[in-house]
């Protein structure tokens, strides 16, 4: 059970002077239950990549297999794939349209062909799992605060119970607390359900705290692929393409340069603290 | 699929056509539109084609870019062409089962399709070489007499230019919302007319909400930059006729005359 | 003289039911006192809904006080006759780069403000060139804004305000919708305008790391100014910041945590260098 990309390329405006290669021979294997961060600049191909995973974009070359089946097969049901590989777009609140939050969350399950009772159940579950306050279930989604809208929109995708959840910059435009809340929520859900989560982000710090695998995209290609420690261990290579490692990692590198024995793969405040306390001969 | 639309878009370049006063271009386009309907035979269209070729050359807009604008209406052209081809009575040229092609039908189909193509390419040359602001400035002055009968010409002109600026943004937004709803299992393609119309709701509601939000943001931003109607405004690019604008008027009139001569003589 | 001075500024929004009767009152600004001297770089921090954007709209006379007073460049914002003069002295850049660019060509957009102010044509061109150069966007003057990156669009928007030659520029969450590169670009330009042109800058943001170079910082929550001081002073109050839904940079947080673990570290550490120095590793 997995998602496999085999030499996937995506080009648009082919045959004109404006031809753009948005994905260039990308091969990846995404195992069940992984929590993956995809990082890269605007235009690195990360958004294009994730839109392939649920068949919204069709590769110009290469194949994609979901659970062993070629999704480009003639009789493959792409609509069904989209409910199994759920996608939360950037600023997902822009897709809200129903008269109440509750009805909006039911939209996905209803499209899956579930009956009203089952869809209602799903909506309850989804809204509860994103911590959406019950008092607002019957409110118009357009009257909510930014953070609440975001939650409602994410619930709209969760209600389809996707096996793979993709989130494109889910914290864009949120304040720090809102950002931590949303990321915490996604992480908790991942722990509880064990589903695959793919998180697209600009921010190294965001990703470092949660994921167990990082894919760095650059120039339409996979530039790095590994655990956060492996990826951040190559700070020079990341800087080469204009990305930075977490500040704590920089601090560790600097200490190491000055001859101190610290672990340069520390990325979070917690890990940094432990390293420094060790140096000072104190128990963390 | 929406990204291909080039109608109404400006193509930045430095060319004689870009430099031309928008009033001249408006006048030229008007004359051109008339001329498409004056030309009715091979000689007329030959002349039109040559002149259009010259103007396209002068515009420095790649021809392939203009043709992209045609893609969206190819189906329309074909349907219109086919109707003309088969539905016009006249002397039978060919028989395909129950369908007949007549000489008049063939002529009409060719003429009609050619006119449509010329119409679209010609008008797109104007928008491709004229910034929306210039275009609206040109319209504002050309329509100025209407203010006497209380038509808010300045406001209409400004609205037009803002609309043109937001077309590509809204097109992109439509694309994005469509994908987001498809990711939630929405189906925009299958089903009958009623089902299809209903399927549009999840697309149209967010699109309208977004358009209204953008409109109110924009109104605020305009106010913040001291916009208070047309009164007391100065122009960054005031319209002033140059020598070559006047020459252009002469060329346009000459062009029309030649075409009339062709029609009368041949 | 202070270029901006708010005294006990209050703003109330009325919530109305369907018949237009007042259902409730929401206090967006609650007795705000604020002073900005000419030439300063001020930051206003706060989470979404803290009232910081409402305050920005007041400084631009897009909103007027429900109570209290606000003077911008010596002019009372409550007096509607001052509206245009205030908008000329305090220009405003908004959050969404797409929704504030009016024209389809960069230079025409920058010229929009001066046109509205009735500046003569030749001078508009001078101003447009000068302001686009000051944000490093002159080479794009003939481009369409649609093809620019988010950071570039915001720089064009800043140029559009600069062309009005204001005394003060308010940036209302100019980086909220940008990627990290765009964010750096915009903040750098804001500091350059402040340093090189002596422009008074008011930066409204929820990104902590963007306020580091400011002269003075206000933190808002629930419509009130809850903290104020120099960045170092503000950053040293980590727990207080967190209680107002704010974040601190990783290094500052690390220093704070180390202190809590018993190390002798002063408050308000901002950079790696500072932290290494105070660690006294010998």
Contacts of C57 in chain B (CB under 8 A): 220
Question: What percentage of chain B reaches a pLDDT higher than 90?
Answer: 26
Cβ distance A95 to B184 less than 8 Å, yes or no, reads yes
Which residue does chain A place closest to C246, by CA atoms?
Answer: A176
Task: List the chains bordering chain A where 3 or more Cβ pairs fall under 8 Å.
Answer: B, C
Cβ distance A83 to B185 less than 8 Å, yes or no, reads yes
- B217 vs C: CB within 8 A: yes
Class (C level, CATH) for C2-231: alpha beta
> What is the per-residue pLDDT for C114?
95
The nearest CA of chain C is from the CA of B167 a distance in Å of 11
Output the six-digit token pair for A100.
């109440």
Which residue does chain C place closest to B223, by CA atoms?
Answer: C62
- Mean pLDDT within B232-248: 88
- Per-residue pLDDT band for B4 (boundaries 50, 70, 90) equals low
Answer yes or no: is pLDDT of A203 > 70.
yes
Q: Tens digits of per-residue pLDDT, A243-256?
A: 888 888 889 999 99
Q: Which of B63-67, C103-107, C236-240 has the lowest mean pLDDT?
A: B63-67
Q: How far are the Cα atoms of C52, C190, C229 from residue A225, in angstroms, in the given order?
A: 41, 36, 43
Answer yes or no: is pLDDT of C129 > 80.
yes
Residue A81 burial by Cβ neighbours in a 10 Å radius (0-12, 13-18, 19+): buried
Contacts of A79 in chain B (CB under 8 A): 185, 187
Contacts of A107 in chain B (CB under 8 A): 184-186, 202
Contacts of A41 in chain C (CB under 8 A): 179, 181
Backbone CA torsion sign across A105, C96, B234, B12: negative
- The answer to whether B148 and B30 have CB atoms below 8 angstroms apart is no
* Chain B / chain C CB contacts < 8 angstroms: 103
Task: List the chains bordering chain C where 3 or more Cβ pairs fall under 8 Å.
Answer: A, B
Question: What percentage of chain A reaches a pLDDT higher than 90?
Answer: 63
> Given its phi and psi angles, is residue A57 left (phi above 0), alpha (psi -120 to 50 degrees) or beta?
beta
Query: Which comes out higher in pLDDT, residue B84 or B228?
Result: B228
Residues 192-211 of B with CB under 8 A from A: 201-202, 205-206, 209-210
Which residue does chain B place closest to A94, by CA atoms?
Answer: B206
Q: Which of C177, C206, C263 sits opposite A175 (nearest CB)?
A: C206
SS (H, E, C) B140-207: HHHCHHHHHHCCCHHHHHHHHHHHHHHHHHHHHHHHHHHHHHHHCCCCCCCCCHHHHHHHCHHHHHHH
Cβ distance C99 to B236 less than 8 Å, yes or no, reads no
Strand partners, A87: A166
- Per-residue pLDDT band for C122 (boundaries 50, 70, 90) equals very high
Class (C level, CATH) for A2-227: alpha beta
Contacts of C118 in chain B (CB under 8 A): 232-234
- B91 vs A: CB within 8 A: no
Answer yes or no: is pLDDT of A70 > 70.
yes
> What is the per-residue pLDDT for B2?
46
Query: Which comes out higher in pLDDT, residue C222 or B190?
Result: C222
Answer yes or no: is pLDDT of A25 > 50.
yes
Q: Tens digits of per-residue pLDDT, C83-95?
A: 999 999 999 999 9
Answer yes or no: is pLDDT of A236 > 60.
yes
- The answer to whether A42 and A237 have CB atoms below 8 angstroms apart is no
- Sketch the domain layout of chain A as residue ranges: 2-227
Cβ distance B218 to C102 less than 8 Å, yes or no, reads yes
- Sketch the domain layout of chain C as residue ranges: 2-231
Query: Backbone phi, then psi, for B250, in 5-degree steps?
Result: -60, -45
Separate counts of helices (H) and strands (E) for chain C: 11, 10
- Mean pLDDT within C235-246: 90
**CA dist., res. B37 & res. B251, Å (int):** 19
- A50 vs B: CB within 8 A: no
Answer yes or no: is pLDDT of C46 > 50.
yes
The DSSP secondary structure of A223-274, one letter per residue, reads: EEEE-HHHHHTTHHHHHHTT----HHHHHHHHHHHTT----TT--SHHHHHH
Q: Which of B102-106, C125-129, C134-138 has the lowest mean pLDDT?
A: B102-106
Element (H, E) at C44: strand C41-46
Query: Which comes out higher in pLDDT, residue B82 or A103?
Result: A103
Q: Is the ipTM of this complex over 0.95?
A: no
Cβ distance A269 to C246 less than 8 Å, yes or no, reads no
> What is the per-residue pLDDT for A177?
85
Q: Which of C245, C275, C281 sits opposite A251 (nearest CB)?
A: C275
- To test the contact with chain B by mutation, choose from A100, A111, A156, A162 the residue with the greatest count of B C-beta atoms within 10 A, namely A111
Separate counts of helices (H) and strands (E) for chain B: 11, 2
Q: Which of A82, A94, A157 sits opposite B182 (nearest CB)?
A: A82
Question: What percentage of chain B reaches a pLDDT higher than 70?
Answer: 96
Query: Backbone phi, then psi, for B125, in 5-degree steps?
Result: -60, -40
- The answer to whether A109 and A159 have CB atoms below 8 angstroms apart is yes
Answer yes or no: is pLDDT of C222 > 90.
yes
The nearest CA of chain B is from the CA of C261 a distance in Å of 47
Backbone CA torsion sign across C177, C180, C185, C188: positive
Residues 161-180 of B with CB under 8 A from C: 161-162, 164-165, 168-169
CA-closest candidate to residue B209, choices A174, C97, A154, A94: A94
Question: What percentage of chain C reaches a pLDDT higher than 90?
Answer: 71
> What is the per-residue pLDDT for B113?
85
- Per-residue pLDDT band for B6 (boundaries 50, 70, 90) equals low
* CA geometry: angle B196, B200, B204, nearest 5 deg: 165
Element (H, E) at B255: helix B243-265
The nearest CA of chain B is from the CA of A250 a distance in Å of 37
């Amino acid at each position: 059970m997995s998602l496999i990309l085999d030499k996937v390329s995506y080009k648009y405006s082919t045959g004109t002077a404006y031809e753009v290669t948005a994905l260039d021979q990308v091969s990846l294997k995404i195992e069940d239950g992984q929590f993956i961060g995809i990082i890269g600049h605007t235009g690195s191909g990360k958004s294009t990549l994730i839109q392939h995973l649920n068949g919204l974009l069709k590769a110009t070359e290469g194949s994609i297999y979901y659970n062993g089946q070629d999704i480009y097969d003639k009789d493959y049901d792409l609509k069904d794939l989209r409910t199994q590989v759920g996608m939360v777009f950037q600023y997902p609140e822009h897709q809200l349209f129903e008269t109440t939050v509750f009805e909006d969350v039911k939209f996905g399950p209803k499209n899956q062909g579930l009956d009203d009772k089952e869809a209602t159940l799903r909506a309850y579950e989804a809204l509860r799992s994103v911590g959406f306050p019950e008092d607002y279930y019957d409110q118009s989604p357009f009257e909510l605060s930014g953070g609440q809208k975001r939650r409602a929109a994410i619930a709209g995708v969760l209600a389809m119970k996707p096996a793979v959840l993709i989130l494109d910059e889910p914290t864009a435009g949120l304040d720090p607390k809102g950002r931590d809340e949303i990321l915490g929520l996604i992480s908790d859900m991942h722990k509880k359900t064990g589903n695959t989560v793919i998180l697209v982000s600009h921010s190294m710090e965001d990703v470092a705290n949660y994921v167990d695998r990082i894919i760095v995209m650059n120039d339409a290609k996979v530039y790095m692929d590994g655990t956060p420690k492996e990826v951040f261990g190559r700070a020079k290579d990341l800087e080469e393409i204009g990305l930075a490692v977490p500040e704590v990692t920089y601090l560790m590198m600097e200490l190491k340069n000055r001859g101190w024995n610290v672990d340069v793969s520390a990325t979070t405040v917690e890990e940094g603290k432990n390293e420094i306390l060790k140096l000072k001969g104190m128990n963390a | 699929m929406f990204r291909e639309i080039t109608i109404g878009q400006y193509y930045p370049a430095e060319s004689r056509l870009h430099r031309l006063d928008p009033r001249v271009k408006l006048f030229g386009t008007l004359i051109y539109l008339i001329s498409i309907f004056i030309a009715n035979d091979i000689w007329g269209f030959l002349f039109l084609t040559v002149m259009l070729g010259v103007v396209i050359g002068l515009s420095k807009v790649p021809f392939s870019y203009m043709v992209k604008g045609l893609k969206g209406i190819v189906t329309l052209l074909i349907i219109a062409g086919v109707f003309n081809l088969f539905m016009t009575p006249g002397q039978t040229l060919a028989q395909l089962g129950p369908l007949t092609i007549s000489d008049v039908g063939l002529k009409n189909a060719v003429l009609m399709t050619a006119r449509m193509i010329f119409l679209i390419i010609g008008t797109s040359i104007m928008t491709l070489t004229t910034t929306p602001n210039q275009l609206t400035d040109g319209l504002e002055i050309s329509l100025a007499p209407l203010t006497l009968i209380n038509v808010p010409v300045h406001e209409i002109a400004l609205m037009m230019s803002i609309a043109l600026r937001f077309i590509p943004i809204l097109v992109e937004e439509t694309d994005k919302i469509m994908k987001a709803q498809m990711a939630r299992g929405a189906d925009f393609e299958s089903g009958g007319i009623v089902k299809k119309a209903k399927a549009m709701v999840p697309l149209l509601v967010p699109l309208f909400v977004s358009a209204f939000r953008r409109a109110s943001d924009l109104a605020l931003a305009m106010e913040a930059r001291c916009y208070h109607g047309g009164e007391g405004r100065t122009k960054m690019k005031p319209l002033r006729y140059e020598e070559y604008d006047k020459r252009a008027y002469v060329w346009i009139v000459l062009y029309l005359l030649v075409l009339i001569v062709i029609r009368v003589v041949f | 003289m202070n270029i901006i001075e708010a005294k006990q500024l209050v703003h109330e929004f009325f919530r109305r039911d369907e018949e237009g009767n007042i259902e409730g009152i929401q206090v967006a600004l609650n007795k705000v006192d604020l002073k900005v001297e000419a030439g300063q770089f001020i930051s206003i921090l706060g989470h979404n809904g803290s009232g910081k954007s409402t305050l920005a709209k007041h400084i631009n006379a897009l909103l007027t006080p429900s109570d209290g007073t606000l003077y911008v460049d010596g002019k009372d914002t409550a007096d509607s006759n001052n509206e245009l003069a205030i908008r000329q002295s305090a220009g405003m850049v908004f959050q969404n780069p797409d929704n504030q660019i009016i024209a389809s060509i960069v230079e025409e957009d920058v010229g929009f403000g001066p046109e509205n102010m009735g500046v003569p044509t030749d001078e508009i061109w001078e101003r447009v060139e000068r302001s686009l150069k000051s944000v490093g966007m002159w080479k794009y003057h003939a481009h369409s804004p649609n093809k620019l990156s988010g950071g570039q669009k915001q720089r064009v928007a800043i140029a559009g305000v600069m062309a009005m030659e204001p005394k003060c520029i308010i940036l209302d969450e100019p980086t909220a919708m940008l990627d990290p590169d765009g964010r750096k670009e915009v903040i750098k330009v804001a500091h350059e305008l402040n340093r090189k042109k002596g422009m008074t800058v008011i930066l409204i943001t929820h990104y902590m790391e963007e306020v580091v170079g400011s002269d003075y910082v206000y933190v808002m929550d629930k419509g009130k100014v809850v903290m104020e001081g120099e960045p170092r002073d503000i950053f040293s109050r980590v727990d207080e910041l967190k209680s107002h839904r704010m974040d601190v940079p990783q290094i500052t947080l690390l220093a704070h945590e180390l202190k809590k673990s018993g190390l002798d570290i002063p408050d308000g550490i901002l950079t790696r260098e500072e932290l290494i120095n105070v660690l006294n590793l010998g």
